[in-house]
Structure 1
Amino acid sequence: MGDLAARFRAAYGAPAGHLLLLAGTFTVTGWVALRLAAEPTAGRMLLWFAGAAIAHDFVLFPIYGLADRVLRRALGPRAVPASGPAPLNHIRVPALASGLLFLVYLPGILRLGRPTYLAASGQNQRPFLGRWLLATAALFLASAALYALRRRRARRRPVRPPGRPGRG
């Protein structure tokens, strides 16, 4: 059985679980596409999806790619150290989560469509900006605390020479 798995991996380039996961993903995607095709607004949804993909690839990706490059340059060799935790990901993850929250709640944060939101919910949009800022602060604070904990733990751990397995 092990020989068959090894031959499959050599031929396919990944384990069999990868192929099963892809097949499942394409199955679900096809089912969703068939369900959406029956919708009267399918054309508008497709247009929105294409616009979102284009906006991401030509607007958002260059912006966060440049921001990442600036962050790497600012951190220098500490961005990804040889030992210990990398501060780069402790900045990237909360920034990504904050950015996604901003995109999801963009109309509320910028107070767009006030009359519609008021009519639908009976509430105003004032708290959106403050709550987004609090969520962003909490994400960065949690990430900073986790980074500090990981640095502290890395300092306590003895450094082993490369190539020598530890006792466990």
Structure 2
Amino acid sequence: MPDRLRARYGAAPWHLIVVTAAIVLAGWVALRLADEATFGRMLLWFVGAAIAHDLVLFPVYASVDRVLRRLVRGRVTLLNHLRWPALGSALLFLVYSPGILRLGETTHLAATGQDQRPYLVRWLLLSAALFLLSALTYLLRRRQGSVQRSERA
């Protein structure tokens, strides 16, 4: 039975269970939010975000990845050590972009009593730390690989 399901569905049975559970959970959340006064605005924001991702962001990061693959030519580990800090930095920017770009500065100041100036510097420092950590990891992995090759020879 699992082999037939895998052949027809294209993945393991647990994958179907997880996807079904995620859809049920999303449906339950949507029903809970339907009673909210701001449901229309939330739905509009969600649809806008999905469209922005599919029509703008995906082509951008797919193109950047294609360019990176041409630049590193076959060195997959180097490419992966560039991908994950870039993804982390981009996600942090996406989450904290109102603070980084100082959007709603007066509202933020009134609500928290704090200024938004440190956001940009902190995001830049954190992004630099992600790339530095990735570079150190890459160098250690290369060194370890060259030591193992020399030991075998």
For normalisation by structure 2, the TM-score amounts to 0.89
Aligned equivalents of 2:89, 2:99: Cα separation in 1: 15
Given the superposition, is the C-alpha separation of residues 90 and 47 from structure 1 closer, same or farther in structure 2, using an over 3 Å criterion? Answer: same
Match of 1:20 among 17, 42, 46: 17
* Superposed CA offset, 1:64-117 (max 9, x none): 122112212222333x3xxxxx10011011101101111111111111211111
1:137, distance to aligned residue in structure 2 (A): 0.7
Given the superposition, is the C-alpha separation of residues 18 and 77 from structure 1 closer, same or farther in structure 2, using an over 3 Å criterion? Answer: closer
Superposed CA RMSD? 1.7
Between 1:57-66 and 1:131-140, the stretch displaced more is 57-66
1:158, distance to aligned residue in structure 2 (A): 4.2
Match of 2:95 among 92, 95, 104: 104
Aligned equivalents of 2:8, 2:100: Cα separation in 1: 50
In the alignment, structure 1 residue 36 sits paired with structure 2 residue 38: no
Larger Rg: 1
What residue number does 1:156 align with?
A: 147
Aligned equivalents of 2:15, 2:116: Cα separation in 1: 44
SS of match in other structure, 1:14: coil
Instruction: Identify the structure with the greater helix proportion.
Output: 2
SS of match in other structure, 1:139: helix
What residue number does 1:117 align with?
A: 108
Given the superposition, is the C-alpha separation of residues 14 and 77 from structure 1 closer, same or farther in structure 2, using an over 3 Å criterion? Answer: closer
In the alignment, structure 1 residue 142 sits paired with structure 2 residue 133: yes
Aligned equivalents of 2:67, 2:9: Cα separation in 1: 38
| 1:47-126 map, 5 Å | 47-78=44-75, 80=76, 86-126=77-117
Structure 1: segments with no counterpart, 5+ residues:
81-85, 160-168
Given the superposition, is the C-alpha separation of residues 68 and 8 from structure 1 closer, same or farther in structure 2, using an over 3 Å criterion? Answer: closer
For normalisation by structure 1, the TM-score amounts to 0.82
Aligned equivalents of 1:88, 1:103: Cα separation in 2: 22
1:42, distance to aligned residue in structure 2 (A): 1.0
Provide the identity percentage: 61
Given the superposition, is the C-alpha separation of residues 46 and 133 from structure 1 closer, same or farther in structure 2, using an over 3 Å criterion? Answer: same
AA aligned opposite 1:23: T
Aligned equivalents of 2:115, 2:149: Cα separation in 1: 55
